[in-house]
Structure 1
Amino acid sequence: MQEYKNKVIVISGGLGDIGQALALAFLDSGAIVCVGDQFDLSTACEKWALLGSSTVNLHYDQVDVTNPNQVDAWLSNCRENYGAISICIPNAARVTLKDYRALGHEEWIAEMDVNLNGSFFMANTCAKYFVEDNISGNIVFLGSWAAHAVHKNLPAYSVSKAAIRMLCQSMALEYAPYGIRVNEIAPGYVNAGLSKVVWAENPDLQEKAMATVPLRTILEADEIAQQVLWMCSSYCKHLTGASIVLDGGLSLIRP
């Protein structure tokens, strides 16, 4: 997709499996990629050796997405150093595996801060930049099928992702007159993050999860990345306020 050549892409949660896959996919398409995450540069380079390479257009900044001042400073720095931002992907997220009775107040607040507030701070700042720079930019939220399906042990995560869906739709409507498209990709079971760790230790659990999916498939992070590239492309110029659910049919199952 040569249309991304030299376009500036910003991705939060850039050191996670999905964040790295997104960055690599856009880099392969010739884009300038700015990733942010919670770790200092030294730790970040240990986690992802590519950050230390001078041969790729990949740039890293430490940023706490729950702090709007840090988010604004990060995005302003990307814009000033590398050019007008074209694509914004709020990807940073956290998950707490507890039911309501076990979930603490602080855990609820922390999850909402990262998943919802952090996504809003990043997306709305980028949208304002799009308007100022006269850019028909794209925002793609990393949602989840948990936004519309009850998960007993993921209450805070599910509620935060449901809120992301409305954030996507309301922003899409407001910014549409400026040619800005706002969408959400909502994966089901993904071999990434916490799931990847659990499944690596217990392969039987991955087989069980796969058997639950009607298509009998588990998503890989690079598959999500390719879908995001397609959503941001000119092939999807009429797509906005949409949720692309990649769950292999999980949403079709009724408890």
Structure 2
Amino acid sequence: MQEFKDKLVVISGGVGDIGQAMAIAFLDAGSTVCLADKMDLEQATQKFPLLERESRLHYQQVDISDYEQVTHWLLGCRERYGALSICIPNASRVTLKNFQSISAQEWKDELDVNLHGAFYMANEAARLFIEDKVAGNIVFLGSWAGHAVHKNLPTYSVSKAAVRMLCQSMALEFAAYGIRVNEVAPGYVNAGLSKVVWADAPEQQTAASKVVPLGAILESEEVAKQVLWICSENSRLLTGATIVLDGGLSLIRP
């Protein structure tokens, strides 16, 4: 895909399964990719060995909930590799507790990453787009849980619902600069903790897939393909949109 050749893409949560899949997809399309995650470079390379071998793939340890660290990272990416073109706030955390069991600190920590970190990254990227006169793309990674209530995911659901409105609000403001802002909201994905659990208990993955109306679990690569499409010229008039990529999971009401 020549339209992505030599573009600079920044991705938070870059060493997770979905982050890696997006990085590989953009690398295959000719982009330069800068990843951020919470672990140090040695740990990141153990999880994502391509970091050692690919000259267009770069990594920095960043606490995405820290505004100063986020801005320092993005400014450094621009200084070293040129103007940003695509920003993907992907970092997130999940606390599997209901309202009566979650602590105030756990609530704050989750919102700091899922909502505040996404805002810091997207807003700073938009500022750089405007400075550099780039009609850039911002793609938030949301979740089906931001569209459907789940009793064991209250903080996560609240944070992802807020990200959806953040996406729409930014899309309206930044459209004047040619910047498009969208969101992909996946359902069950064979990634992260789910991937680990399902590898040891495949019957749980089978049971999960039966809950999905279309009867299938997403792979990380499918999420990455959707993000690539959103950033392409094929969706040049798409902004403020949420693509709910969940096989119909969010249509189910408890």
Fold equivalence (TM over 0.5): yes
SS across alignment from 2:24: helix
Alignment-mate amino acid for residue 124 of structure 1: N
SS across alignment from 2:111: helix
Alignment-mate amino acid for residue 89 of structure 2: P
Aligned equivalents of 1:145, 1:254: Cα separation in 2? 12
Aligned equivalents of 2:43, 2:190: Cα separation in 1? 23
Structure 1 segments (4+ residues) deviating >3 Å = none
SS across alignment from 2:33: strand
1:99 match:
98
2:246 match:
247
SS across alignment from 1:153: coil
Q: Which moved more, 1:122-131 or 1:200-209?
A: 200-209
1:175 match:
174
The Cα offsets for residues 24-67 of structure 1, whole Å up to 9 and x where unpaired, read as: 000000000000111111221122111111x4300001100011
2:219 match:
220
1:2 match:
2
2:55 match:
56
Aligned equivalents of 2:98, 2:202: Cα separation in 1? 24
1:151 match:
150
Aligned equivalents of 2:200, 2:162: Cα separation in 1? 32
Alignment-mate amino acid for residue 122 of structure 2: A
Which aligned pairs between 1:1-255 and structure 2 lie closer than 5 A? 1-53=1-53, 55-255=54-254
**TM-score, normalised with respect to structure 2:** 0.98
The Cα offsets for residues 120-151 of structure 1, whole Å up to 9 and x where unpaired, read as: 00000000111110000000000001111001
Are 1:27 and 1:56, in contact at CA under 8 Å, matched by a contact in 2? no
Q: Percent identity?
A: 65
Are 1:144 and 1:161, in contact at CA under 8 Å, matched by a contact in 2? yes
SS across alignment from 2:85: strand
Query: CA offset at residue 199 of structure 1?
Result: 1.4
The Cα offsets for residues 181-208 of structure 1, whole Å up to 9 and x where unpaired, read as: 0000000110001111121222111111
Aligned equivalents of 2:196, 2:152: Cα separation in 1? 17
SS across alignment from 1:60: strand
Aligned equivalents of 1:252, 1:69: Cα separation in 2? 39
Aligned equivalents of 1:158, 1:33: Cα separation in 2? 29
Query: CA offset at residue 252 of structure 1?
Result: 2.2
Alignment-mate amino acid for residue 201 of structure 1: D
Aligned equivalents of 1:111, 1:253: Cα separation in 2? 25
